[in-house]
Structure 1
Amino acid sequence: MSGVLSGARGLVNPLRQLTLDELRRRTSLKWREYPDDVLPLWVAEMDVPLAEPVARAITDAVTRGDTGYPAGTGYPRALAEFAGRRWGWDGLAVERTALVPDVMHGVVEALRLVTGPGDAVVVNCPVYPPFYEFVTHNDRRIVEAPLGEDLRIDLDTLEDAFRRARAGGRPAAYLLCNPHNPTGVVHTPDELAAVADLAQRHGVRVVADEIHAPVVAAGARFTPYLSVPGAENGLSLMSASKGWNLAGLRGGLLVAGPAAAGDLARVPFEVSVSTSHLGVIAHTAAFSEGGEWLDAVLTGLDDNRRLLASLLAEHLPAIGYRPGQATCLAWLDCRALGLGDDPAAVFLDRGRVALSSGLAFGTGGAGHVRLNLATAPELVTEAVRRMASAVA
């Protein structure tokens, strides 16, 4: 597989650089969960080689034996500079950041800072399944605020959820997914400002999972939650993990708004020191030097979104698909196919293609599947062929 991208300075498309045989030699979850006759397009791993600046930084560190504990401010400084270049946001203060092992563990720590056991955490379902798992495992309870029919935040529904979450005067948090997984929606500045206003009025603390922030389609623009008016007491989790496929090189940043600096000071020492030093090195290199590689991936993902829409229109027109503005994921409405609440099980059994079941994403997920677009266009094509054969 090979390809050149006109939109990314002539770079080779990273999504077309690895053959299926090469990918099947990987030992990560995506390629080991199912037998070899299954095409895996489920978990959010990208089918790409490691970006050269990241590979070089890790190799150099290993050569030096630089494998101790993390230190310094290189990571938050690299992220701050990236935020200025990409998002026009100059408000990421290095002194208001803390290292965390990864974004979801950072979410847990942030929720511990602003809520207690038994308190409510509001989520916009359908949403990333670990939101449910990590929140409930840490003795918080979920309050759902379903997305609207347009898959965007419904402010009236959100306000009702805030009222229910704060019943009895207990603390509550809102776990915001920005951009949204699985829909790929990029929240607008006005939407986020309205969220901040609602949160202020109801005394709800906002914790924003912004791990997909670098993965935004052409024509869309990511807005950091902490950049909007009224978000000063918010907390955000950021990482290079999704943009550069670094799930195996963990490292995240907890970022606080100006009014939340005191909360950040209460992050336990053992949390930051548990972050992978090699992960920090990798994420720093990605934000500092990986922009050109990221642009090539984003161009490839834009091409795959168009390809998927065309393939579905031709072979599976009953499936509803709104190409997302962000993430490497596609949210597919399969209810018209009559496959029941879990069409992913049918596609796996009859078509030997693995997709994420919508049931795990909470209310609104039944009858849906999530497909990972971060692969070669030939594999997207093969996936749709297999899905069509499963319902023929």
Structure 2
Amino acid sequence: MAVTGPLEEVPLERLRERTSIKWRHFEPDVLPMWVAEMDVVPATPIRDALARALRDGDTGYGRGVGYAEAYARFSEARWGFAPDPAASVTVADVMTGVFELVRMVTDPGDEVVVTSPVYPPFHGFVRHAGRVVREAPLTPDARLDVAAIDDALAAASAGGSRTALLLASPHNPTGTVHARAELEAVASVAERHGATVIVDEVHAPLTLPGAVFTPYLAVDPRGLVVTSASKAWNLAGLRSATILAGADAAATLRTIPEVVTHGPNHLAVIAHAAAYDEGRAWLDAVVAGIAANHALARDLLQGSGVEHRVPDATYLAWLDLSRTPLADPDARADGGVVTDASRPSTALRAAGLGVNAGEPFGAGGENHVRMNLGTSQAIVREGVARLRAAIA
């Protein structure tokens, strides 16, 4: 049966004409299936909104909370919860927002807890802010370990130090969608230790069928959330994001430095708002394609020794190669230093497949790779074939 949808529209030869980092980082003979960038053309409503803005010369500076208003409409329609747009700030991108929040709610030298293995910039941006990373690793089945988070926050707040928990929801790289009860438990632990919870929800619109996403602010009025349309609608090159505060954190958000609001791109805000309001059918088609790709990859990897637990969300496959000949018995997580070099990822690159090494994601990333399935089924098949060839 023929497969259709946005992920099937752009053939490989056209993708190789792109100039983004995904298609220019590796050698031309390497199939890039790494950085979180999908192989799609933007949804028609997004292209139309940008065309109107260019036609009308609407290319100046942005203002207001239109971004957050569009997101609130989307959130209410998808998840039954609408954050307050008045308690929001538009920023350049998710990690800019995270960086500024970390600096607001902690002091230099304070510790920030992360749930490793997790998105490497969580490690890097925390250190760049002059703070110290403390890991509270996930459980073996890739769920939040609330007891470990409790212990980490207790240690981080010892002596009256300020601390924060930096959470990816859904989780990156595992694709786990945290259950409401887990988030409620995290909120309770954080409140007991006086910690602020900062949540990156950028992958939330990519929650797959059968999983239920819970917005963090629906369970914790003390929380701060940063999100963007960049991942779900493939708009990383049109950078913009919004910070949303719970009712009890709105006053904190109002103290964010005014200069932080200078970064957002007005055309990007227009594009992201169009995505939230008019790109929902396109998103549904993409999500269906992602679910099919995960199932395809799982089937193609059977008998290879590679473990692919189909995630609850995102097009990112977190592959465990510890039972394959590529495994490195001496591998250690490198504390979030971003690099493509590990024994499995280096071997895959030599076999013509570009993926993310697992070690930069922190504890639990050893002998893993992250593989991007936000692409056509033909590329998924080719990528898995190259992976299996490297293992054979």
TM category, shorter: over 0.9
| Structure 1 equivalent of residue 284 of structure 2 | 295
Give 3-state SS (helix, strand or coil) of 2:295's partner: helix
Give the whole-Å Cα distance in 2 for the aligned partners of 1:16 and 1:114: 44
Identify which of 26, 32, 53 aligns with 2:18. 26
Match of 2:169 in 1: 178
Q: Which residue of structure 1 aligns with residue 338 of structure 2?
A: none
1:72-123 CA-partner distances (Å, limit 9, x unpaired): 2221111111001001113x01110100100000001111121111111000
Check the 8 A contact 2:65/2:90 in 1, yes or no: no
The answer for the alignment partner of 1:10 in structure 2 is: none
Pick from 41, 52, 61 the counterpart of residue 53 of structure 2: 61
Superposed, 1:205-354 pairs within 5 Å as 205-228=196-219, 231-314=220-303, 316=304, 318-339=305-326, 340=328, 341=331, 342=342, 343-349=344-350, 351-354=351-354
- Secondary structure of the structure 2 residue equivalent to 1:337: coil
Separation of aligned partners in 1, 2:49 and 2:221: 35
Q: What's the secondary structure of 2:232's corresponding residue?
A: helix
> Under a length normalisation based on structure 1, what TM-score does the superposition of the two structures give?
0.95
Q: Within 2, Cα distance between the matches of 1:223 and 1:302?
A: 19
State which of 15, 18, 42 in structure 2 corresponds to 1:50: 42
Counterpart-to-counterpart distance in 1, 2:276 and 2:217: 19
Instruction: State how far apart, in whole Å, the 2-side matches of 1:158 and 1:269 are.
Output: 32
Local SS of the residue matching 1:335: coil
Residue type of the partner of 1:346? Answer: A
Structure 2 residue identity aligned to 1:263? T
1:70/1:273 contact within 8 Å kept:
no
SS of the residue 1:369 aligns to: strand
- How far apart in 1 are the matches of 2:16 and 2:73? 36
Residue 103 of structure 1 pairs with residue 94 of structure 2: yes
CA displacement at 1:135 relative to structure 2: 0.7
Q: Distance in 2 between matches of 1:320 and 1:391?
A: 13
Give 3-state SS (helix, strand or coil) of 1:242's partner.
coil
Paired with 1:277 and 1:296, the residues of 2 have a C-alpha distance of 27
Amino acid at match of 1:274: G
User: Contact conserved, 1:16 with 1:376, CA < 8 A, in 2?
Assistant: yes
Q: Which runs of 4+ in 1 moved over 2 A?
A: none
CA drift of 1:65 comes to 1.7
Q: Please, which of 140, 147, 154 is the counterpart of residue 131 of structure 2?
A: 140
Structure 2 stretches lacking a partner, 5+ long? 332-341
Question: 1:119 — aligned with what?
Answer: 110
Query: Which residue pairs with 2:362 in the alignment?
Result: 362
Aligned equivalents of 2:262, 2:314: Cα separation in 1: 29
For structure 1, which runs of at least 5 residues remain unmatched after alignment? 5-12
Alignment-derived partner of residue 337 in structure 2: none
Q: CA deviation at 1:390?
A: 1.1
> Deviation digits for residues 173-196 of structure 1, max 9, x if unmatched?
000110000000000110000000
Alignment size in residue pairs: 377
Post-superposition Cα deviations, 1:188-221, rounded to whole Å, max 9, x if no partner, equal: 1100000000001111110001111101100111
Q: Give the alignment's TM-score, normalised by structure 2.
A: 0.95
* Whole-angstrom CA distance in 2 between matches of 1:227 and 1:196: 11
Distance, in Å, in 2 between the alignment partners of 1:338 and 1:159 is 37
Query: 2:63 and 2:3 mapped to 1: Cα distance?
Result: 39
Shift of 1:302: 0.6
State how far apart, in whole Å, the 1-side matches of 2:152 and 2:117 are: 15
Provide the secondary structure at the position in 1 that maps to 2:389: helix
Aligned AA for 1:385? Answer: A
Question: Contact 2:65–2:89 (CA<8 Å) still a contact in 1?
Answer: no
Choose 270-279 or 373-382, whichever is displaced more: 270-279
Equivalent pair of 1:118/1:141 in contact (CA under 8 Å)? yes
CA distance in 2 between partners of 1:117 and 1:62 (Å): 43
Q: Which amino acid aligns with 1:310?
A: D
Matched position secondary structure for 2:206: coil
